[in-house]
Structure 1
């Protein structure tokens, strides 16, 4: 996947959110951390919907994780609306990414240049950069 110079990369899992930026080149990303925002998880709307029937039956749907994903999307929406975001790639585990997509604002969607549905938010930035290169 192409990752333009100065593009942002959001690394998300059910508990962690890190915003990085590509300081490298288009096909050779080198990521550096820009922010690790503190989020308030107040949006528990996933519990109202039939989010994941199999997850509900097995007990694996964690509302805290889904609320965290919604909070990340809301934070990114605010940055996009304020014109502070630019191009962005979102790297998140599949469940978080699915919940985030439900909350994307059109301004965030216009900034979005790619998504990677892998649980690598806790990996070293070099490993994330390699995953972007391979995507």
Structure 2
């Protein structure tokens, strides 16, 4: 993936939200931690689609994790609308990424340079950089 210099990278899972910035070159990212914002997971709209008891009991659907993904998307929307970044890449596990996509604002979509559907929250920075380079 080509990640322009100074692009943001959001790394999201069901519990974590990490913002980093590329201080390297487009094909050789060098990420620097910006922040780990805390989120209020209040949007449980995914519950409408995930109401079967079997999915809840087997652990296939965790509404709290999906609400966290929705909250992360909403925060990124606010930042995109405010012009806090020009470009962004989003890395998240497939289920959370799918929920986030449902909440993307058009302004966020216009700044999105790519998505990686992998769980990389908690991984070392060099592994995240390699995943971006390989995407």
Measured against the shorter chain, the TM-score band is over 0.9
Count of aligned positions: 135
Indicate the residue corresponding to 1:23 in structure 2.
23
Q: CA deviation at 1:35?
A: 1.3
Residue 109 to residue 68, structure 1, CA distance change in 2 (3 Å)? same
What's the secondary structure of 1:20's corresponding residue? strand
Q: For each residue in 1:45-99, what CA deviation from the matched residue of structure 2 results, as whole angstroms up to 9, or x when unmatched?
A: 0001248998457332001100000000000000001111210000000011000
Residues 58-77 of structure 1 aligned to structure 2 (within 5 Å): 58-77=58-77
CA contact (8 A) 1:10 1:20 kept: yes
Indicate the residue corresponding to 1:125 in structure 2.
125
RMSD (CA atoms):
1.7
Using the TM superposition, name which of 49-58 and 101-110 deviates more: 49-58
Cα distance in 1, alignment partners of residues 118 and 24 from structure 2: 22
What's the secondary structure of 1:29's corresponding residue? coil
**TM-score, with normalisation over the residues of structure 2?**
0.94
What's the secondary structure of 2:18's corresponding residue? strand
Indicate the residue corresponding to 2:35 in structure 1.
35
**TM-score, with normalisation over the residues of structure 1?**
0.94
Q: CA deviation at 1:121?
A: 1.4
**Residue segments in structure 1 that go unaligned for 5+ positions in a row:** none
Q: For each residue in 1:12-70, what CA deviation from the matched residue of structure 2 results, as whole angstroms up to 9, or x when unmatched?
A: 11100000000011111000011111100000000012489984573320011000000
Indicate the residue corresponding to 2:107 in structure 1.
107
Structure 1 residue runs of 4 or more that deviate by more than 3 Å after TM superposition: 50-59
What's the secondary structure of 2:49's corresponding residue? coil
